[in-house]
């Protein structure tokens, strides 16, 4: 699926202080199936941007089109459905639910259909190399295994777009490379669009395009 950002801006307001302009006039087009890396210094606005693209936050102005749909024209329920249907998101910290097993965590985004999704959940677990840990709890896993679980959870609804915000930022180099490989392979296999934020230049260089963000603006 295409993702188009049109003149996106995001400001934060605070009483008795000037507005903080976090994103300024961002414009780009990511075409269907592309693998794109956002890079830039800490505080540049990368997380704010990827959260907006992932429909978890609204811009102050501007538009995001996913496919042909002007997403923010919809209400929150619409955004939620759009997200569930089309988007998988991976964070730097996995945000797994500690009282749920690996298998249950993966089924959470599809909980009402968990019985019919069971087979698919196990096949995703196999793909990420964690089938043998399906009944374990997150605190019994290594950092890399936790992130694989988070990735598997992002795949359960067959998203056409995967967003990952510094997915390897909290992992050692070797484990990070394994996760990166999974992300890129999955995107190639399924034709889904991959949008990631990374500080890792080696990883960014594997992407089809790099978009640099600096001080809330795109730079070259």
Ligand X SMILES: Nc1ncnc2c1ncn2[C@@H]1O[C@H](COP(=O)(O)OP(=O)(O)O)[C@@H](O)[C@H]1O
Instruction: From the list Mg ion, ligand X, none, pick the one residue 12 interacts with, judged by a Cβ distance below 5 to 8 Å according to partner type.
Output: ligand X
- The answer to whether 66 and 2 are in contact (CB under 8 A) is yes
Select 47 or 198, whichever has its Cβ closest to Mg ion.
47
48 binds Mg ion (CB under 5 A): no
Instruction: From the list Mg ion, ligand X, none, pick the one residue 191 interacts with, judged by a Cβ distance below 5 to 8 Å according to partner type.
Output: none
Select 11 or 190, whichever has its Cβ closest to ligand X.
11
Residue 59 CB, nearest distance to ligand X (Å)? Answer: 12
47 binds ligand X (CB under 6 A): yes
12 binds ligand X (CB under 6 A): yes
Binding-site member from 7, 29, 32, 43 for ligand X (CB under 6 A):
43
CA end-to-end span of the chain? 25
106 binds ligand X (CB under 6 A): no
Residue 165 CB, nearest distance to Mg ion (Å)? Answer: 6
d(CA 195, CA 183): 10
47 binds Mg ion (CB under 5 A): yes
Residue 49 CB, nearest distance to Mg ion (Å)? Answer: 9
Select 47 or 105, whichever has its Cβ closest to ligand X.
47
Residue 7 CB, nearest distance to ligand X (Å)? Answer: 18
Contact set with ligand X (CB under 6 A):
12, 20, 22, 40, 42-48
Positions touching Mg ion (CB under 5 A) are: 47
């Amino acid at each position: 699926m295409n993702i188009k950002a049109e003149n996106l801006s995001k400001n934060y307001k605070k009483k008795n202080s000037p507005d903080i302009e976090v994103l300024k006039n961002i414009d780009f087009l990511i075409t269907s199936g592309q693998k794109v890396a956002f890079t830039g210094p800490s505080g540049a606005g990368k997380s704010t941007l990827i959260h907006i693209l992932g429909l978890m936050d609204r811009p102050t102005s501007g538009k995001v089109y996913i496919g042909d749909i002007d997403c923010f024209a919809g209400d929150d329920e619409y955004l939620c459905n759009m997200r569930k249907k089309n988007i998988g998101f991976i964070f730097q910290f996995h945000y797994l639910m500690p009282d749920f097993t690996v298998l249950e965590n993966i089924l959470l985004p599809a909980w009402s259909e968990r019985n019919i999704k069971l087979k698919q959940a196990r096949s995703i677990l196999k793909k990420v190399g964690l089938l043998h840990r399906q009944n374990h709890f997150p605190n019994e896993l290594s950092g890399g295994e936790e992130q694989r679980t988070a990735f598997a959870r992002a795949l359960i609804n067959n998203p056409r777009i995967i967003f990952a915000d510094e997915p390897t930022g909290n992992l050692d180099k070797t484990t990070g490379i394994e996760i990166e490989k999974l992300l890129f392979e999955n995107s190639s296999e399924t034709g889904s669009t991959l949008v990631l934020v990374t500080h890792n230049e080696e990883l960014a260089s594997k992407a089809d395009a790099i978009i640099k963000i600096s001080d809330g603006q795109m730079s070259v």
